[in-house]
Structure 1
């Protein structure tokens, strides 16, 4: 029988307050990680931050073996059928999608290695400064959470809005976990899921086209061009994906969007031409000598 919520929470808290018991606690937690109860505690009662504190230590030296075990624990929790997706969503509030994928794939040693590297690829941007910033945020969060929980209450916990290691990349266009500009620099980069990227590009391209028509003041006018360039590059590198575009029913939508854009440009150029003609006519009328009225 799985331990109740308070016992599971105590095991997670031991990762924070009982360094001598961490290895044993990690072993027990890993054995229970396939249960919905522990996955729920990780996602909704702050268990994720207790584990991340080991994975991204601020000052304390955590043995590599324990950090790898913490990463493996997260990977198993993410794979839990019932609440694993909720754990993954919680992790994605802290970490880039690329690192969440590394955690999902494992092994734990690979996760630790990825966290310590300086990486810039279409799927992952990660620097030591980002790691240090996130470590500090997690340390503060864990202290605050533990202080509340030791009062005897199981707190329904959620990630604070500002908690993220991705603040410096927040303005960078990202689709399906891929940084679009970095992809355009290296379109042959081996994407984990090019089909997901394709679907995201199609959706966002059509949305951005519509937004530029109706919300021109709040939308980057260069975004449709950027997304269309990424679409072309993706299909050049992965031509087999072209069939997928048809299967999803995007072809009529794309044709309609391009046709609408063409009509809009034609109307715009026509207005400019008409404006020029009116100016010419006005200029000609101004040049004609005024007639003297006959008496």
Structure 2
């Protein structure tokens, strides 16, 4: 600290000396990087580009295998530093793509070196020979100009012959970053390049839950921009006007982008059906009928309406989803019936709507099928299907996509309603069908063999997988950023750590789309409840429970997802909240929706008496769930815990530590608040205070805490 020349001499020895004993110098640098002050000095001396120069075989730098292995290990030490690791990660992202930063943190040693030297191009990583060359040339220009004092102006003395070349750190302007041509137009969401994922939908994701979480957040934001809430005080509406020129607003407000996100979510659910339980826990399924109602009322019968219907169609393959829809605040059957009534014509996308209705009524083991049949009869769904589809001529359906399949699905839907209804409903519906002339032609036919493979294909997914979808995302010719740059300041942070967010109000998933504190577009929200600016975060790939198909372990604690606004720069390493929900049994399963007696009797409900005026009650506190990481230090977590009324552990206060010692609990992002109730530690359910203390005492390193918090 008090002798800066020793740092650059240390770097010069590490990066230029080719001798077996140089490994001891690298070991000394690792010891130095463990301490925040030592890592700060190394970063200030330009250690990151100098070490990358060794890894990328820049001219004048050693390329010994022992030195390269030591360089990988040292960068991993940088990223794992609990205080300065986020700063090191932010510096590293200026040179290499985010997936490589994650790999360097996870796989120190030969595994990382092999990935760095190899080439690969799949949905989770793009690293080609061209990109390696671009990094090598950028480092060579930067390091050669460090002694001359200006970027782009190389020193006349070679690095290996200039003893003072390391004395001045490389000059990096605030906007400096290595430009990679191949990823300039890629959108990186939740650790996945979505263009490549749509081309390889069967790719086995290493973190399907986290990817789906990010997709839901961006899907929610894009839908809210395209179909704003009808509220004068809505932040969505204000944002759409004030930031109409923002390039990212152009992308999020583009219907093609919403369709791309929908296709990605459909592929994730197809490949990992267990993620449906997370969507139910997050409340996403429960809000889809309401979003469909908003799209219909706003007249957005194009991509917004189709996106909601596609999600419902993919999710209703599971009976628990259909049961969950029965308790939705908005009648899903009524909204789907309205979606089929576009003036006097059948809408273009009527086929998928009718196929969704058929799938709902054909659901086996549905506990509330009588309720769905009652909904269908109440809104005259059978009459709509008979008059507008079966009774229509070929000319009337000429504009409908896949009109032949539409008739087949309509007949199957009517037969499914007949099979699902109780005797009273069956008699009522059968009488209606017998009187309609169009029904006689179809009632005795089986149409299973009428559907060809072409008609069964997902045309929306095929369209979204084309490069034309991505090429047409940016329609604002004045935009100065590529797609990759446009989302890099958000998605790179999202994939590596949490960002601050606040003001949970009105959003279907817990938080509305908020404008970023930096003045740019607010990306989808994250599970944080503080508006404080987060310090930089160390990137980390979530463990494979979150990355392989999410297994359900009984002792794990799921933390319901609360999307939060990513804004600013990456957060602290201890705040890595990549997994907003943990696989496992739900904390509190929602009670099954009641079946009204009127629906059972297939009769209209009686008129309710007028409401009795009451005084307005104060708003009740709302519970949210927050997951964060704390680096356990010499003095523990820095928290005093007590017993809550429920018996769980509760945060009473922050400990007062000796002078000069930073309380690790104060570094968390999302922050820990006094009064938080501990539900789980390291993905283990803790029902009592003693359970939480026992798990904390037996854990080492970063500890994952799941809290329940009340907000007003």
**Shared fold, TM over 0.5:** yes
CA distance in 2 between partners of 1:59 and 1:152 (Å): 14
CA distance in 2 between partners of 1:254 and 1:94 (Å): 41
| CA deviation map 1:258-281 (0-9, x unaligned) | 4333333467896998xxxxxxxx
* 2:264 equivalent in structure 1: 230
More helix by share: 1
Shift of 1:3: 7.5
* 1:218 equivalent in structure 2: 250
Q: In 2, are the aligned partners of 1:137 and 1:163 still within 8 Å (CA)? A: no
Which range moved further: 16-25 or 4-13?
16-25
* 1:240 equivalent in structure 2: 274
* 1:107 equivalent in structure 2: 108
| CA deviation map 1:196-241 (0-9, x unaligned) | 2122111111222234454599234311111111112112222332
1:199/1:266 Cα in 2 relative to 1: closer, same or farther (>3 Å)? closer
Q: In 2, are the aligned partners of 1:53 and 1:139 still within 8 Å (CA)? A: yes
| CA deviation map 1:66-121 (0-9, x unaligned) | 11211111012111111112212222222222211221122322222112222011
Q: Tell me if 1:175 matches 2:209.
A: no
* 2:693 equivalent in structure 1: none
Which range moved further: 195-204 or 206-215?
206-215
Structure 1: gaps (5+ residues):
274-295
* 1:72 equivalent in structure 2: 73
More strand by share: 2
Q: Tell me if 1:264 matches 2:263.
A: no
**Alignment length (residue pairs):** 272
CA distance in 2 between partners of 1:190 and 1:75 (Å): 26
Q: Tell me if 1:30 matches 2:30.
A: yes
* TM score, norm. by length of structure 2: 0.34
1:106-185 matched pairs, under 5 angstroms? 106-148=107-149, 158=172, 161-164=175-178, 166-185=180-199
* 1:58 equivalent in structure 2: 58
CA distance in 1 between partners of 2:49 and 2:143 (Å): 6
Return the match for 1:201 from 195, 211, 215.
Answer: 215
1:15/1:272 Cα in 2 relative to 1: closer, same or farther (>3 Å)? farther
Shift of 1:139: 1.8
Q: In 2, are the aligned partners of 1:206 and 1:254 still within 8 Å (CA)? A: no
CA distance in 1 between partners of 2:35 and 2:18 (Å): 25
1:134/1:156 Cα in 2 relative to 1: closer, same or farther (>3 Å)? closer
Shift of 1:143: 2.9
* 2:11 equivalent in structure 1: 12
Q: In 1, are the aligned partners of 2:12 and 2:166 still within 8 Å (CA)? A: no
* 1:96 equivalent in structure 2: 97
CA distance in 2 between partners of 1:212 and 1:43 (Å): 44
Q: In 1, are the aligned partners of 2:39 and 2:78 still within 8 Å (CA)? A: yes
Which range moved further: 225-234 or 144-153?
144-153
CA distance in 1 between partners of 2:300 and 2:199 (Å): 32
Q: In 1, are the aligned partners of 2:34 and 2:77 still within 8 Å (CA)? A: yes
RMSD between aligned alpha carbons?
Answer: 3.5
Q: In 1, are the aligned partners of 2:134 and 2:180 still within 8 Å (CA)? A: no
**What is the SS of the residue equivalent to 1:94?**
coil
* TM score, norm. by length of structure 1: 0.76
Structure 2: gaps (5+ residues):
151-163, 228-239, 303-340, 346-712
